[in-house]
Amino acid sequence: MPTNPLSRRLFALLIGLLSACSGLAGEPQIIATLPHTTPAPQQVNFPAAAPDLALGAQIYAQNCIRCHGAAGRGDGVLIGTGENQIPNIPRDFTDPATTRDQTPLDWYNTITNGRIQNLMPPWRDALTDQERWAVAMYTYTMAYTPDLIAAGEELWTVGAGENPALPAQSELAQLTDAALVQRAAESAGASQYAGALDDQQRRAVAAFLRSGALTGVEVIGQPPAEIAQAVTPPPPQPVTTPEITAEAAAASLVGAVAGVVTNGTAGGIVPPDLIITLHELDADFNEVSHETAVNPDGSFRFDDVNIRADYSYVVTAVYQNRIFGSSVVPGNTTAPVLELPMTIYDITSDPSVMLITGLVTQVVVAEGSVQVAQVFSFTNTSDRVFSTDEFFAENQYGSLTIAIPPGAQLRGFADTQQRYIIGDNGLTVTDTAPVLPGEGHILHVLYEMPYSGDLQIEQPLNYAVEGPVRLLVTPGSITVTSDQLPSIGPQTLRSVTYQGYGSTFSRPSGEVLRFRLSGIPVSGSAEGSPNVVPVNTLVPVLLVGGGALIIVVGLFIYLRGRTPAAAAPMPPPPPADAQTLIDGLIRQIAELDDAHTAGEIDEPTYKKRRKRLKTRLSELIDEDA
């Protein structure tokens, strides 16, 4: 039973994708300019009984603290700007503004379906409905305190009477706190009552009313880790494995991992000799693996597995030289068998099955250069995995290939460079992550082009386009000319206003995206903005209806199961005027200070952004010395 630590790059990637999020219902700080498709209606299982906050605290302690923090303030150990940390700052659950316009149903839906564009994984398969409602209500009520509830009870008793008649759980879940106060007042025959309350009083009354429809309310105001320790049930039998401490044994059991492998391609088979590998990942993403062969019916089972609440589990298999796997799920110490079903697919290399279903190009024009951050959203329309026969290394084959405009120089990628192979001419990028059927697949590239006041950009599109295409340009002094992308007006993203251009494309492969930039950038309007960062750290994320980031499983499986290729080296970045960058960073720090003084940025966000800017400034000064 070998123990193999994952690479540090995989630590960062897997931690970020598996554990990170930017707030259960927080507004994503992302580039999100493409229209959403209408999602298919989903059956919501409203709580049959009052959600249990103590259970929610236990689940939160096991799964959420490392990002959201022990008190829910978004200051978990994985959040920060250091190595293997996540720069996205989650919303503060203790701030009443976080839930002001949100309902518990919004919270539950985010937990259930995830918010992949914010790296929030879905918990639909890992938690039961009861558990999802428990953690939804626990995090939703993190802004409550015992004193607030007591004050709300007094206000309600004096102004509206005793024993409020609360709506059913299904209605409660769809009411904001303000709507709940109004609904309860109307039921009590005091419809004017809510209007007589100020914001703080309305919050207090809402906290009192909401707590009356929950159990385990005594945990409000207590640290979730302490609550979880108090309510975690003891294991059914003592664990005597020498490597497991007594503290760890309290949250573990010896159980089994089982599942069934199916082939999702019409007419596809599951080979009788298919080997299944189980990966156990601890909190530090050290790995223990086990292997077994599938049974004739495609089923498999691993017995005597150490199931721990702070571990994650995934099974993988190599089929047709590609790596496939199950979902990555946390350990469930209340069930003796952890189910990990897995689907494999046959391979297709036919490029006609691939569609570009969304494309965003963000352009920042600075003195002497045009910096571009581009995000493609792809969809595989077949029932096979898309992957070509272009071989790079063990279990690593080419899949999608995109071209950057002639004259451009690649500056990097928004995720791990291990995934990409750069062409000999530096103008093509080949993705080596296979594209699963029906799954959204996102590809990021960052590049730069020289600029002297006029630039024609022509980018070949290697795949058919069926979906919206957007172009965002700043500063406003730049003129954009394109017969393909008409103006759609200003687009404000992360407090920066861009000129927006776009259209819905329906075009065959081989088309060329064209637009012209002209004019002189106004000094300080691009890099000097506090929310525009240098292209080497600009990480746009595309929010496309029906499209999602490459699933966590795919990246884990792809990186875990291959040997790094001898990829072509990244072309060197073009020379830059260090003093221009230094001046821009100084302006950003000054503007950030002004925003903080004006109360526009909270203290934790201010400190983290300022630290990041000062670190980069110090690096540039050292380089220029």
CB atoms within 10 A of CB 184: 25
| Residue-level pLDDT at 44 | 66
Torsion of CA 540, 405, 487, 370, to 10 degrees: 70
The residues of the chain scoring below 70 in pLDDT are 1-44, 82-88, 115-120, 224-251, 283-285, 394-395, 414-418, 493-495, 523-588, 591, 600-601, 605, 608-609, 612-613, 615-625
Return the structure tokens found at 217.
Answer: 């309310």
For 617, half-sphere exposure in the C-beta direction (CA atoms, 13 angstrom radius) is 15
Q: What is the pLDDT of residues 387-437, one digit of tens each?
A: 999 987 766 789 999 999 999 988 777 555 567 888 888 899 999 888 999
| Residue-level pLDDT at 577 | 45
Complete DSSP assignment for 438-485: T-EEEEEEEEEEE-SSEEEEEEE--SEEEEEEEEEEESTTSEEE-SSS
Q: What is the pLDDT of residues 170-205, one digit of tens each?
A: 888 889 998 898 888 888 887 788 788 888 998 999
Q: Is 309 within 8 Å of 330 (Cβ atoms)?
A: yes
| Residue-level pLDDT at 77 | 80
Return the structure tokens found at 574.
Answer: 């073009």
Complete DSSP assignment for 563-615: PPP-PPPPPPPPP--HHHHHHHHHHHHHHHHHHHHTTSS-HHHHHHHHHHHHH
Helix (H, G, I), strand (E, B) or coil at 1: coil
Q: Is 131 within 8 Å of 47 (Cβ atoms)?
A: no
Nearest-5° angle of CA 176, CA 42, CA 438? 130
Q: What is the pLDDT of residues 455-504, one digit of tens each?
A: 999 999 999 999 999 999 999 999 999 999 999 998 876 567 889 999 99
Sheet holding 428-431, edge to edge: 401-403, 428-431, 420-422
DSSP state of 536: G
Cis peptide before 534 (omega within 30 of 0): no
| Residue-level pLDDT at 457 | 95
